[in-house]
Amino acid sequence: MSPQQGRGAGRTGKSKLTSRGAATRNRIVQAAAELMHVQGVATTTIDEVLAASATSKSQFYQHFDDKSDLVYEVITLRADEILSWQRLRLEKVDSLRGLHQWRDAMVQRCVLRRGLWGCELGSLAAELSDTDDRARESLAEHFGQWRSILAAALDRMRDNGVLRADVDTSALATGLLAAVEGGYLLSQTAHDPRLMQTSLNAAIDHIMSFAPDSSERASR
């Protein structure tokens, strides 16, 4: 089953939900996402999710087959949140200034949480990728979408002459995303959001090493 087919594969399909049922289901997923991000997937119990979401066990099983089914919905929720945030800040980036503004937004996001808890998707990947292949495939797909968003911004920078015409934007996007995840991890362990900025600065400096030289700029 693909990640898309698995989405919403519990006992009650999303299209069949009443507005009240959808609200209950969303409340369960939101509560589970918060608990799993703070204390981990393995240690979060269904009873804790029920208490946090003010729902009953019967309501839970109306919407989910089991805890694993809920975990897949948490992955989708977190991915939707992160990718929407990234698209909003990257969809018009076509310059070094725009890339720096995205970096500043990433650092600010880390500052607001004092570097705590790390990346929501990264935390899920670290815990689930070696034990749940369906979760791993879903997470890999979402990280691939994130890389594509970054690569599209670098494509626009290349098209504007900010980067060389022969630059491998896909490879640079992979390095930039690795810097994001590494920045989250370092900031989390040190409780120091400045490490996110250092990590992103290093990645952006590497990207700008592919700027055209003066002769190339003159020929454009």
The segments of the chain whose pLDDT lies below 50 read 1-9, 12-15, 215, 218-219
- Token pair of 184 as six digits: 């989250």
Residue with tokens 């393995």: 42
The per-residue pLDDT for 14 is 47
Question: What is the sign of the dihedral through the CA atoms of 144, 150, 156 and 162?
Answer: negative
| Domains of the chain, CATH where assigned | 3-69 (no CATH), 72-210 (1.10.357.10)
Classify residue 128 by burial, with Cβ atoms within 10 Å: 0-12, 13-18, 19+: buried
The per-residue pLDDT for 173 is 98
- Token pair of 51 as six digits: 């208490």
Question: What is the sign of the dihedral through the CA atoms of 108, 112, 114 and 119?
Answer: negative
Q: Which amino acid is at 197?
A: Q
Q: Give Cβ neighbours of residue 69 (< 8 Å, ≥ 6 apart).
A: 9, 10
The per-residue pLDDT for 133 is 96
Rounded to whole angstroms, how far apart are CA atoms 9 and 2? 11
Single out the residue of 83, 169, 73 nearest to residue 124, CA to CA. Answer: 73
